[in-house]
Structure 1
Amino acid sequence: MNQQTSSSEPLLQVVGVHKRFTGVHALRGVTLSFERGQIYHLLGENGCGKSTLIKIISGAQPPDEGELIIEGKPHARLAPLEALAAGIETVYQDLSLLPNLNVAENVALTTELAEHGGRLARTFDRRALAQTAARALQAVGLSGDADFQATLIEQLPLATRQLVAIARAIASEAKFVIMDEPTTSLTQKEVDNLIAVLANLRAQGVTVLFVSHKLDECYAIGGEVIVMRDGQKVASGPIADYTKSQLSELMTGRHLSSERYRAGTTQAEVVLAVRELTRAGQFRDVSFALHRGEILGVTGLLDSGRNELARALAGVAPADSGGIALDGQPIVLRTPADAKRHRIGYVPEDRLNEGLFLDKSIRDNVITAMISSLRDRFGQIDRKRARELAVDTVKELQIATPDIDKPVQSLSGGNQQRVLIGRWLAIDPRVLILHGPTVGVDVGSKDIIYRIMQRLSLSGIGILLISDDLPELLQNCDRILMMKKGRVASEYRAEGLKEAALYHALLSEAA
């Protein structure tokens, strides 16, 4: 507990909270206590009750039983504005930013709502807004200048939006900040900056509830840990008292290995050859070869060009020059349809906005890439074949669902990701580009996805794994390419490579 505070009572208590949905007992008598000026890591597999707990604390949902006690005052339920007024601010995984407003307006939004009873003032005090925004943006390592403040959110890359959402929580001078997967789109350099931000918040007496699947980050931040499984708290205490293996076992109820998933592979023929690929302002002269059945990792900082390279190879944002050959034959990738025609599958980094049709069924999401081949001679989709394809995919990829007609948004993050992978397996791909395949995915689902990747590579598919998760690359890849300033700076054999050495190379300025 922070010694600066004059009060000995907890800032927030969750007492005997239950929450039920149709057929699901999401929270089962959860009791927690949060002290001022402490950082708590909330860990657990998707579906364990973390998101429901966050929504109850932030006022988005009421509990069925139990209560919240905030600074000694009991609440049977909170409305969102009451939570804001009590100093509870949440940075959700989907960020909840308004894309048509600029950076400064988004940063000041919750403060305005809390001060004006849920309504925005007809006119902002632009000078005060700019000063508040500048302080908060600089606190998370972003520019506080007028040009950046005036930039529309929709014009920013995902990682920058993530930092803007965190700046909004800082601007509101919250007492209790919930961060739901705040580092999913951040590179290691930005994560290091966020760790410093959290240390400052803690020093100011702010309590932080940090939800993450990345255990290394949790250890680097330090503080307390709360582990949930099946709607219950199963462990809590200083995070330093637990090993990663112990935490993984507590979360999943089974032992998960941290060893390499990859067994050595023999060199096979080249399936994808990239030669001097260039897109102005993003990457230049990128050359590499991907072999059949190989898992080739690509990493780098946010401005390295790795994300843009992935999109170019998927035909989403094509290269300006250079050559691409598939099985020795030159191909042109100007559109996603070109990539699909050449049997190149692409699982994007942002599955919610770029990959899935959230309100559509699991079946419809799986068959999307195959619709043309599923049509009969009258142009109608063969429902029997479509259903068989979806059922087979659900079974093969261990997607946990009782019904393929359920909307894909009803699934956990790990199951959603497997639906997206399954969509591209339906085209019998030669090459599969996986861009951040385990972002926002729990440790149990990561294990399943990694085993799927290995199985696919053994079937002869060439896999390009774009990731900034260094353990993920080291556990799964044959080789790793490191990009810096738009170029491939170095290449590594993954087997035997130490994470510390890769991390040091990642942060080195030399290209």
Structure 2
Amino acid sequence: MSVASAPPVADAAPPLLEIRGVRKSFGGVHALKAVDLVIEAGRVYHLMGENGCGKSTLIKIISGAQAADEGQILVDGQPTGERAGDIGPIGALRAGIETVYQDLSLLPNLSVAENVAFTGQLVAANGHLARRLDIGALRETARAALAKVQLPTDRDFLSRRTDTLPLAIRQLVAIARAIAADARLVIMDEPTTALTRQEVDNLLRVVERLRAGGVAVLFVTHKLEECKAIGGRAIIMRDGRKVAELDVATHSKAEFTHWMTGREISEARYRAEPKLGEMLLDVEALGAEAFRDVSFSLRRGEILGFTGLTDSGRNELALALAGVRPADSGRIRLGGEVVELRTPAEAIEAGIGYVPEDRLTEGLFLEKSIEDNITLPVLDRLRGALGIISGRRARKLAEATVADLQIATPHVGLPVQSLSGGNQQRVLIGRWLTIEPRLLILHGPTVGVDVGSKDTIFRIIQTLADRGMAVIIISDDLPELLQNCDRIAVMRQGAIVAERPVDAWTEDTIYRSLASAEEGIRP
């Protein structure tokens, strides 16, 4: 007898979580349209789809951050919350549902230990904060959870404020917070966005231990390669509906992409027949606290990629070129002239645009309008004879940028937080294109965006290079670098250890260069 035709088991346990007919609207926009979902204990799921398809709204409803307009949420077969479709934040935590959001939702002014272990004491107090915390218990809980994600457990690290940590470490702290609560379902929204391959591998081992212990894990992700490595079930959404649920192991990346976007997207290289011009950038023996003796050059119309581990110095190199954290030695020539990049204003004046790694906290003013975000660097250029900013000229510039970068919005007056992640990223890129840069530095240009938005951003990058702009891409996403760059440089321990034309690299050789201590300098 086949499984499909087998009679139901009378005493079968109900699923850990069941969503029935959930709907959610914001104004006239239908974010979720009658979504059904079943999560079983001890299984791994991947919630996939383009930005704006409803993934984030769904996990906010599951975690109690938002209430559904219609539908039911059942835990262990029982309805939850004060009303159907509203489990509430404390109700979700009591049910063992922990969420690591894409913006991490860490409290920046609290210590690592407090962020990791605070949830348990919050639930014990029924959500009331006016009580003394048990610091000893808090630290012990934090130590155990941090050890599982291989972070330090010493007193100095436990006491350190989270806003002083690098993004990749903050990501792991957020994951440790979920582990600390003995969760039954852990939802991870783009958990590997800022992690290196080694850190990703460590996370996957943590996920496997959770699964083996009966914990369900729901990844919200755009990274198809990681889905394949983890295995499990893929739940695919498009336009607010669940359109498919598939076994990750038995379907190709092309099939997933088609289900998510409704169109075919090639995995071929975007870079074709580059038109390189004269030398634009010449960096000689540049040094700072995090890197030393860094030298490289870049032509007009050329795309140079940098990659490396978190402590490689690649991030600090980008900040030095952008004038955010100036170098203390070496020389930078731009267009044949020596330039001093001691402040972001000096970098902008020199014609350097910098798109930061974390668009949510370092790049965008989320509550401000799309127009305000785009026009910020060129407000002086938009002033009239009396020194007053021309609203008409600002709107015209913002609308032209929106059209050029294919940003999906009905009006540039809307707050940028109303956009999907991919459209937010294009607003940030568009901001720096308004200064008409000679050199554009893109730090993680497609972090947290879907495959469809990646395709659009990649084509924008190629168009900019074809127009003669020099581009530097700093990324952990090796396929991104291999598809878009002319050359790739690998950094390790503050130095460039290898720099080659893209044709001389593969993902495996880049990984070996990242890890090897034997690679010579710039072979």
Question: TM-score normalised to the size of structure 1?
Answer: 0.97
Q: CA deviation at 1:421?
A: 0.9
CA distance in structure 1 between the partners assigned to 2:516 and 2:34 by the alignment: 49
In the alignment, which of 200, 204, 211 is matched to residue 209 of structure 2?
200
CA distance in structure 2 between the partners assigned to 1:353 and 1:7 by the alignment: 46
CA contact (8 A) 2:498 2:513 kept: no
Give the aligned residue type for 1:151. R
Structure 2 match to 1:247: 256
CA distance in structure 2 between the partners assigned to 1:116 and 1:360 by the alignment: 36
Structure 2 match to 1:174: 183
Residue 63 (structure 2) pairs with residue 58 (structure 1): yes
Moved more, 494-503 or 145-154: 494-503
Q: CA deviation at 1:23?
A: 1.4
Residue 375 (structure 2) pairs with residue 367 (structure 1): yes
Q: How does 1:63-142 map to 2 (within 5 A)?
A: 63-75=68-80, 76=84, 77-120=86-129, 122-142=131-151
Moved more, 458-467 or 16-25: 16-25
CA contact (8 A) 2:118 2:138 kept: no
Structure 1 match to 2:397: 389
Q: CA deviation at 1:34?
A: 0.7
CA contact (8 A) 2:275 2:301 kept: no
Residue 26 (structure 2) pairs with residue 21 (structure 1): yes
Structure 2 match to 1:3: none
- Could you give the per-residue CA deviations for residues 173-195 of structure 1, whole angstroms, max 9, x where no partner exists? 00011100111111111111101
In the alignment, which of 476, 479, 490 is matched to residue 482 of structure 1?
490
SS in 1 for 2:503: coil
Q: CA deviation at 1:125?
A: 2.3
In the alignment, which of 415, 418, 424 is matched to residue 426 of structure 2?
418
Rate the CA distance shift 1:18–1:92 in 2: closer, same or farther, 3 A.
Answer: same
User: Could you list the runs of 5+ residues in structure 2 that have no partner in the other structure?
Assistant: 1-10
- Could you give the per-residue CA deviations for residues 250-292 of structure 1, whole angstroms, max 9, x where no partner exists? 1000000000000132543211111111012x00000000111
In the alignment, which of 235, 240, 246 is matched to residue 237 of structure 1?
246
Runs of 4+ in 1 over 3 A off after TM superposition: none
CA distance in structure 2 between the partners assigned to 1:496 and 1:72 by the alignment: 56
Q: CA deviation at 1:496?
A: 5.9
SS in 2 for 1:18: strand
Structure 1 match to 2:169: 160
CA distance in structure 2 between the partners assigned to 1:105 and 1:479 by the alignment: 44
Structure 1 match to 2:51: 46
Structure 2 match to 1:224: 233
Give the aligned residue type for 1:26. A
Q: CA deviation at 1:96?
A: 0.8
SS in 1 for 2:311: helix
User: Could you list the runs of 5+ residues in structure 1 that have no partner in the other structure?
Assistant: 1-5
Q: CA deviation at 1:9?
A: 2.2
SS in 1 for 2:267: coil
Structure 1 match to 2:14: 9
Identity rate, percent: 60
Residue 499 (structure 2) pairs with residue 494 (structure 1): no
Q: CA deviation at 1:500?
A: 2.2
Residue 316 (structure 2) pairs with residue 314 (structure 1): no
CA distance in structure 2 between the partners assigned to 1:33 and 1:475 by the alignment: 37
CA distance in structure 1 between the partners assigned to 2:353 and 2:22 by the alignment: 44
CA distance in structure 2 between the partners assigned to 1:351 and 1:113 by the alignment: 30
CA contact (8 A) 1:189 1:507 kept: no
CA distance in structure 1 between the partners assigned to 2:12 and 2:473 by the alignment: 50
Q: CA deviation at 1:483?
A: 0.2
CA distance in structure 2 between the partners assigned to 1:485 and 1:275 by the alignment: 18
In the alignment, which of 499, 505, 511 is matched to residue 513 of structure 2?
505
In the alignment, which of 333, 336, 356 is matched to residue 348 of structure 1?
356
CA contact (8 A) 2:277 2:468 kept: no
CA distance in structure 2 between the partners assigned to 1:447 and 1:237 by the alignment: 23
CA contact (8 A) 2:171 2:194 kept: yes
Give the aligned residue type for 2:184. K
CA contact (8 A) 2:276 2:468 kept: no
- Could you give the per-residue CA deviations for residues 186-242 of structure 1, whole angstroms, max 9, x where no partner exists? 111111110101001001100011011111111111111111001111111210111
Count of residue correspondences: 505
In the alignment, which of 420, 423, 438 is matched to residue 446 of structure 2?
438
SS in 2 for 1:302: coil
Structure 1 match to 2:342: 334
SS in 2 for 1:271: strand
Structure 2 match to 1:274: 283
Structure 2 match to 1:473: 481
CA distance in structure 2 between the partners assigned to 1:297 and 1:8 by the alignment: 51
Q: CA deviation at 1:42?
A: 0.5
Moved more, 295-304 or 10-19: 10-19
Give the aligned residue type for 1:31. D
SS in 1 for 2:333: strand
Give the aligned residue type for 1:127. G
Give the aligned residue type for 1:206. V
CA distance in structure 2 between the partners assigned to 1:409 and 1:175 by the alignment: 31
Q: CA deviation at 1:161?
A: 0.7
Give the aligned residue type for 2:376. T
- Could you give the per-residue CA deviations for residues 477-508 of structure 1, whole angstroms, max 9, x where no partner exists? 00000000000000121136322222232232
- Could you give the per-residue CA deviations for residues 401-440 of structure 1, whole angstroms, max 9, x where no partner exists? 0000001111111111111111111111100000001001
CA distance in structure 2 between the partners assigned to 1:379 and 1:87 by the alignment: 57
CA distance in structure 2 between the partners assigned to 1:496 and 1:475 by the alignment: 13
Structure 2 match to 1:261: 270
CA distance in structure 1 between the partners assigned to 2:430 and 2:501 by the alignment: 29
CA RMSD in angstroms comes to: 1.2
- Could you give the per-residue CA deviations for residues 312-358 of structure 1, whole angstroms, max 9, x where no partner exists? 10001111111000011100000000010011000000111111111
Structure 2 match to 1:462: 470
SS in 1 for 2:379: helix
